[in-house]
Structure 1
């Protein structure tokens, strides 16, 4: 998990146009990594949780069953309503007066990034989409604890994403 969190920090937060980011496992329906200040989950993270777990499930549901409704009505996330800018089977772009949210679906994860007013949405979108294209590994919460400690599998180096 530390490597995935480092990847979120290195490839998204480093742009200075992403305020917070998280990765949600689609299969496990829980967060597997998040940047400081942005947590989606339960259990050990509950003390630090700033986003209700149902928001993570709503995003998963939006991609698999609810894209048309998201396009028409927008989406609530962290008790704020976001208007839909774009929604397809791979990504959802949402915004409100305070900023916006970009969600990108990979094979096993949904990558979420938020930006605030004053940040450039296009930079946030480009960074999350690019990370989504390079993020092709699969996670399960049971395997997550051991997958990077006991194997040679490594996450992509954030430095290589911008070359």
Structure 2
């Protein structure tokens, strides 16, 4: 059973996203100082909308066009190759479903893979990927977290980015 606090935090996601997303346009060139501010805003958004649910362990936002990390949760890193593999997983969902995904040297078996969302598990941990017009939002969960809350939080954040054509 998912606790009430998790659902209350999920309800706050859309309001938090509205506050941040209107200040971030990843397709407009910025000066380096502006990039740092925007990255911090996105990192705060990831923390408030995803990590704060208690059911997302790590998360990141990757821009698809240039395979760049736009933001990630504290201490979470993705290599260029890892970001490329996550983006490429959406190019052939049936193949991704069949072969799974390698991430951080582990093979994740796909539970769902379509043109917009990929859910994968490795033992008792898992990851969720959602594609928007310009981004891939990813999150991981551990064995003591509810995968359904992780999925809902990431899908809700992605929905808002999709509404804003981001």
Q: TM-score, normalization: structure 2?
A: 0.73
Establish whether residue 96 from structure 1 lines up as the match of residue 122 from structure 2: yes
> As a proportion of its length, which structure holds more helix?
2
Q: Which runs of 5+ in 1 are unaligned?
A: 41-51, 140-163
Q: CA deviation at 1:28?
A: 1.2
Match of 2:86 among 31, 47, 59: 59
Deviation per CA, 1:60-104, whole angstroms, max 9, x where unpaired?
Answer: 1111x2211110111101111100000111100000114000000
Establish whether residue 5 from structure 1 lines up as the match of residue 43 from structure 2: yes
CA distance in 2, matches of 1:138, 1:7: 18
CA distance in 1, matches of 2:75, 2:54: 15
> SS in structure 2 opposite 1:58?
helix
Q: How does 1:26-37 map to 2 (within 5 A)?
A: 26-37=64-75
Establish whether residue 82 from structure 1 lines up as the match of residue 120 from structure 2: no
RMSD across aligned positions (CA)? 1.3
Q: Is the 8 A contact 1:109 1:138 kept in 2?
A: no
Structure 1 runs (4+) greater than 4 angstroms displaced? none
Q: TM-score, normalization: structure 1?
A: 0.74
Q: Which runs of 5+ in 2 are unaligned?
A: 1-38
Number of the residue aligned with 2:53: 15
Q: State the number of aligned residues.
A: 127
Q: CA deviation at 1:114?
A: 0.2
> SS in structure 2 opposite 1:117?
coil
